[in-house]
Structure 1
């Protein structure tokens, strides 16, 4: 592949638009928190929650989650990496191929994140995932294959002292990729490391898919009448390291496929709530062991669900169910309950209706009414206040343990697709690396400075 120097005089429009869009969404979603972190409402409505894949109307989260960021540092570093590496990939591939790799890598990140849930724990079915990291990881994977010998200067801090070094793209990316695989298996922190792994491998796979015939450049003739090129492609040692890491990932996807059917204790709850003949339906998710939950997006079902959670009515409590027989009876509860907003805010909750609990003591059916006060939130000033007026909702709700079904219907297919992407990326890196590498001249070796 020869270098087209005209490419480096163009503007990476798509990268600029992606950065501007991400920043705009972050401002809108975090202004009520003074731009320090995203609001809970945006996470609830638009972040990717794996269990919600069972509801086709919630699949939009796969896309919207790519534009959400948890806090200001999250978006800063993501946009920094996107700017430093994305513009080079875009200028070489063109806007269409670049955006295809970007968004498909984001989807690949979602696939891997979901595929590894049996290893990470069923509770991850309920944990929201957000950020452009998966898509940007795909850009990093493509960059490594295209510019393996380009020099990068990276810095990190040891306490307050900066430590900087310069190395090749391939070494830097392989080191970063290794940390994601290792941290993922160690369950380190709250970061979706396997989403980064999936995005990275997806970037390599889709680069080969979209760019095999993309490079058609004119040969550059230097004033001296000759050219000096550097070695392109990955070295044998780098291929060995990468192959070892990818095989470790493939082992995980295969293991997830095997144990996916053993997942349990995540309930999907369907809620229909009506007030003044106006009805709304939505779904929620609940883990009875940890009490973690994902509330509905629609207002009426969300209000009802929150009251059941705050009053701890989703799990069986002796004395609340009258005329009980085999977990069935009349559920009656009335009292003040603390809300999830803190600040000492409580609401009055009155629940009455026919209820049924399963053998695990989890509410699987309710038909009755919920009377309560409503919490009003001023999104601009962050003010939370309780109404004095009581609102009555006619409620019908039912639930079932969907973790096992989720493993069969979603985790297993995604584990297979993740395995396929991993295998393709391994083949591409082993045998197609020179075909994908951009031939760079000794006189053109830019340094890219990036924090890690």
Structure 2
């Protein structure tokens, strides 16, 4: 998106400015540490599922300042600057900072909850598959829950098991494969400020619903309220569809929007709260 006014970073209020600076510094640190020490900071400071051995409580905060690359951080920080500076000027710095972190933590909450449901379902399906183990049931399990890994697993394991379906060694190995796949899903870190940024976007749409935005790639003006609703619907569709090529944490985005909506409604009811 682009604004109708020329960008002026000097007019950016302090919280938004410092959030952008910190995020940029962390991205540069990620590049430098990886280049010099061969250490991936995203694998340390990114957020893991609580069932993973890599999970650490501090990741709930640190993942919000990590990004997967220049494109990732550019769109997040551009949106934060575009909409966040307006909100901070209206709310004040303290309220905006509180809102930013509440939506960021809300993103973590919904993402983790959805992950818990998904992993629990996978574990139940794995147990059912192992109660009646066969190359066919194992193939169906992998195809449904881990379609991106099917070809590799077929070549390494399923094709051999098919030649001897009653072999207890292969049956035991199927259990190990299932366990490894579930663990792999737990060990994927989440990085980015997107959850909080989606909360900021939601707030802008609620406070300035009729403000017209110009889409960056499609020069068509659209009112903020319709843009926010449309974006939310797309995120829900993508999250539910769970396409195998998609590695975006869509429910984290929705969590930021949901908790932002709840907080703004709470503030509107509590007129006695000031920051």
If the length of structure 1 is used for normalisation, what is the TM-score? 0.41
Distance across 2 between alignment mates of 1:41 and 1:54: 17
Aligned in 2, Cα 1:14/1:114: closer, same or farther, shift over 3 Å? same
Q: Secondary structure at the match of 1:116?
A: helix
Confirm whether residue 171 of structure 1 aligns to residue 226 of structure 2. Answer: yes
Q: Which deviations, in whole Å up to 9, do the C-alpha atoms of 1:118-141 show, x marking residues without a partner?
A: 554454422110100001111111
**C-alpha distance in 1 between matches for 2:203 and 2:114:** 23
Partner of 2:23: 22
Give structure 1 stretches of 5+ with no counterpart. 1-8, 157-162, 217-452
Contact persistence 1:140–1:203 (CA under 8 A): no
Deviations 1:216-253 (A, max 9, x none): 9xxxxxxxxxxxxxxxxxxxxxxxxxxxxxxxxxxxxx
Gaps of 5+ in 2: 1-9, 123-181
Per-residue deviation, 1:62? 0.3
Give, in whole Å, the separation in 1 of the partners of 2:261 and 2:63.
22
Q: Distance in 2 between matches of 1:104 and 1:53?
A: 24
Aligned to 1:286: none
Q: Does 1:134 align with 2:189?
A: no
Note the 1:48-127 alignment, pairs <5 A.
48-51=47-50, 58-121=56-119, 123=182, 124-127=185-188
Q: Which residue of 2 aligns with 1:147?
A: 208
Q: Distance in 2 between matches of 1:53 and 1:92?
A: 41
Aligned to 2:247: 190
- 1:88 offset after TM fit, Å? 0.8
Q: CA deviation at 1:43?
A: 1.9
**Within 1, Cα distance between the matches of 2:118 and 2:214?**
34
- Looking at secondary structure, tell me which structure has more strand per residue: 1
Which range is displaced more, 200-209 or 119-128?
119-128
Q: Would you say the 8 A contact 1:65–1:130 is kept in 2?
A: yes
Post-superposition Cα deviations, 1:81-136, rounded to whole Å, max 9, x if no partner, equal 00001011111111111111100111100111111125544544221101000011
Task: Give the C-alpha shift of residue 155 in structure 1.
Answer: 2.9
3-state SS of 2:22 partner:
helix
Normalised by the size of structure 2, how large is the TM-score? 0.65
**Rounded Cα–Cα distance in structure 2 between residues aligned with 1:10 and 1:83:** 11
Could you tell me how far apart the structure 2 residues matched to 1:165 and 1:174 are? 16
Q: Shift of the alpha carbon at 1:41?
A: 2.3
Q: More helix by proportion, 1 or 2? A: 2
Aligned-residue Cα RMSD (Å) equals: 2.6
Distance 1:33 1:54 in 2: 22
Question: Which residue matches 1:45?
Answer: 44
* d(CA) in 2 for partners of 1:194, 1:128: 14
* Contact persistence 2:49–2:115 (CA under 8 A): no
Partner of 1:213: 271
The question of whether the paired residues in 2 share the 8 Å contact of 1:52 and 1:58 is answered with no
Distance in 2, matches of 1:30 and 1:179, equals 32
| Residue 206 of structure 1: how far off its partner (Å) | 1.4
Q: Report the alpha carbon displacement of residue 30 of structure 1 after superposing the two structures with TM.
A: 1.5
Which structure has the bigger radius of gyration?
Answer: 1
Deviation of 1:215 after TM superposition, in Å, equals: 10
Query: Does the aligned pair in 2 maintain the 1:62–1:107 contact within 8 Å?
Result: yes
- Highest RCO, 1 vs 2 (Cα 8 Å, sep ≥ 6): 2
**Deviation string for 1:298-326 (max 9, x for gaps)?**
xxxxxxxxxxxxxxxxxxxxxxxxxxxxx
Using the alignment, how far apart are the partners of 2:252 and 2:266 within structure 1? 20
